[in-house]
Amino acid sequence: MASDAAAETGSPLVDRWTALDRGWQALALGLGIVAAHAAGQVAGLF
């Protein structure tokens, strides 16, 4: 999860995530949460 835990795990998704700088991880998570809220709004949840 943290960028310094960069050992290969065999999962491309996990490897790509752990190779990211923490700032990029935070940016991706934050935008993901906003996108989920936008999707929820379209679905009528908000």
Partner 1 sequence: MGVAAAARPYLPGLGLLAAGALLSHLAAGAVDGLQPLVVAVAVGALVGNTVGTPEVAKPGVGVDKLFLETGIVLLGAAVVVEEFLAAGPTVLGLVVVAVGGGLLLAELIARGLFRLDGTTPSLLAAGASICGVSAVVAIGRVLDARGSAITFAAATVLLFDAVTLVAFPIAGEWLGLTGRQFGVWAGVSMFSTGPVAAAGFAHSPEAGQWATVTKLARNSLLGGVAVAYSLAYTARSATDPGVRRLWAEFPKFLLGFLAVAAVANSGLLSPAALESIGRVSDALFTLAFVGLGLSIRLREMREVGGAAVGAVLVHLLVVSALALAAVRWLL
Binding site for partner 1 (CB under 8 A): 1-2, 5, 9-11, 13-14, 18, 21-31, 33-34, 37-38, 40-41, 46
CB of 8 to partner 1, least distance (A): 9
Count Cα atoms within 13 angstroms, Cβ side, for 1.
2
CB of 31 to partner 1, least distance (A): 6
Structure tokens given for 38: 């936008």
CB of 3 to partner 1, least distance (A): 9
Structure tokens given for 16: 């790509």
Please say whether the beta carbons of 18 and 6 come within 8 A: yes
